[in-house]
Structure 1
């Protein structure tokens, strides 16, 4: 019964506890990544940009059903501010802007693909989502 209690699994000495739960510990690092990815539309945007390396906003708007122009613009800006995607303005008339993953975004994709594989292998109850 004691094995099921999670606080017994946290390291008890101070250094190991900080490594796990401290302000710069494992939980903090994972939380920071989860914050970048949080939101209904960020994952679909990232997977589309992974599938097609450079896309215009109008293409993303067509590909991701039910997203509004306003929401797409907000999420693109957030992902750009987080350094996950880059915006390339060609300075042409009419305006042409394309979005693509940065090296940071490309580095994140194997983690997301591993999470997808985990989900496919392990049926997650619908009440979790």
Structure 2
């Protein structure tokens, strides 16, 4: 009987498993993406940017009830460092900064929509 695998990238013939487990494997790459969106407010920020093309910092602060300015700034900087959003300084005399989804951030939308569908289908169910 042939060995089976529930992971499409894991060879079942005992050969090279780096496609899944190595430093450039599926597990490491997916963990990296999860790290990019991990944080109490990052998904909320991203979903707002999916909804509307650009937001000013103060608009985000008003819309995200309970977030402090310090945490908002930190989360925005991390999302920018991970290249999921772009920061545009449009300041004339007064500071005017807007945030928009980057190309990579826009490419993440279908993944997050799929995760939302999965969550809705399995809400309250144990996924073992």
TM-score, normalised to structure 1's length? 0.85
Report what 1:76 is aligned to: 76
Write the distance in 2 (CA, Å) between the matches of 1:14 and 1:24.
17
Q: Which runs of 4+ in 1 moved over 4 A?
A: none
Count how many residue pairs are aligned between Structure 1 and Structure 2.
Answer: 118
Partner residue, 1:64: 64
What are the Cα deviations for residues 43-69 of structure 1, in whole angstroms up to 9, with x where unaligned? 000000110110001110111111110
Alpha-carbon offset, residue 94 of structure 1: 1.2
> Take 1:30 and 1:113, find their aligned partners in 2: how far apart are those partners?
16
Describe the SS at the equivalent of 1:14. coil
Match of 1:54 in 2: 54
Relative to its length, the structure with more helix (as a share) is 1
Gaps spanning 5+ residues in structure 1: where? 1-5
The aligned counterpart of 1:14 is 15
Partner of 1:67, secondary structure, is coil
RMSD of aligned alpha carbons:
1.8
What's the offset of the Cα at 1:89?
0.3
Q: Give, in whole Å, the separation in 2 of the partners of 1:111 and 1:124.
A: 21
Structure 2 runs not aligned, ≥5 long: 1-5
How far apart are the structure 1 equivalents of 2:121 and 2:105? 24
SS in 2 for 1:23: coil
Scaled by the length of structure 2, the TM-score of the pair is 0.86
